[in-house]
Homo-oligomer: A and B are copies of this chain.
Amino acid sequence: MDRTSIAGIGLGLLAIILGQALEGGHLASLLQPTAFVIVMGGTIGAVMLQCPLPVFMEGVRMAAWVFRPPLLNPMDTIAQVVSWSYTARRDGLLVLEGVAQQLSDPFAAKGLQLLVDGVDPDDLQEGMEPELEAYEEHLRLCAKVWEAAGGYAPTIGILGAVMGLIHVMENLSDPSKLGGGIAVAFVATIYGVGSANLIFLPMAKKIMVHVGHRIRLREMLLDGLVGIARGENPRVIESRLQGYFPKLS
């Protein structure tokens, strides 16, 4: 569990609620189905129009990473690559063919298979790079679902506020309703600016950090395979791979 995420969302919402209470306002005056329909409907609609369906679905699913970060064990991967490198030195590359067929990660399996096939180190690097780039581009596109929501929500909040103001202005003849009407109109702004700045944009940034780790893990794996293909010393490979995820003070 990523408790900082939960504390962050909680603190942001609490600040709004507490602020409203301290001002002597009712929380109920911030709850308004109309504004909610406009801001959330418009934002989701814009994001759906922007994203191909698989990207949209994957992006939505990535929200879970904010609270339950995906398990990445770079140390396990390093240990694995280093053990392959010892095996390759001792028993030759062909012995790794069985390992390749049992790997669950198709990227690692493909790379190890190319290694077993005796492909040149440079060709191994070049042969895997298109997939690495496509993977990176796909993950970033998915993570941008939340960045997009954070971009559309405030402007659609303003749209909702202007719609509310139009409604108020058309009924100016009854001044007693003026204030209440404007108050209602402004709630759409709260929803748009609040959801973007307290939820969508920070989530997008945290997801992007996890995406960066995933991509770096694959870069590290490929670097290790190329090292084996070059016949590098296993200890040199291990030392270099550990640099991808250093212990930072």
Contact = CB atoms under 8 A, between A and B. Distances in A.
Nearest to A57: B4
Interface string A115-134: 00101000100111111101
A159 B193 contact: yes
A180 B186 contact: no
A199 B49 contact: yes
> Which of the four size classes fits the interface of chain A?
35 or more
Given A206-B49, A236-B127, A41 B20 contact: no
A12 B49 contact: yes
A172 to B, nearest CB: 3
A187 B167 CA distance: 11
A172 B243 CA distance: 63
A18 B160 CA distance: 11
A228 interface: no
Contacts of A242: 131
Contacts of A56: 4
A190 B155 CA distance: 10
A65 to B, nearest CB: 11
Contacts of A24: 167
A189 interface: yes
A100 to B, nearest CB: 13
Contacts of A206: 49-52
A246 B105 CA distance: 13
Interface of A: 2-5, 7-16, 18-20, 22-25, 29-30, 33-35, 37-42, 44-56, 58, 66, 106, 110, 114, 117, 119, 123, 126-132, 134-135, 137-138, 141, 148, 152, 154-156, 158-160, 162-173, 176, 178-180, 182-184, 186-187, 189-190, 193-194, 196-199, 201-203, 205-206, 209, 212, 216, 220, 223, 232, 236, 239-248
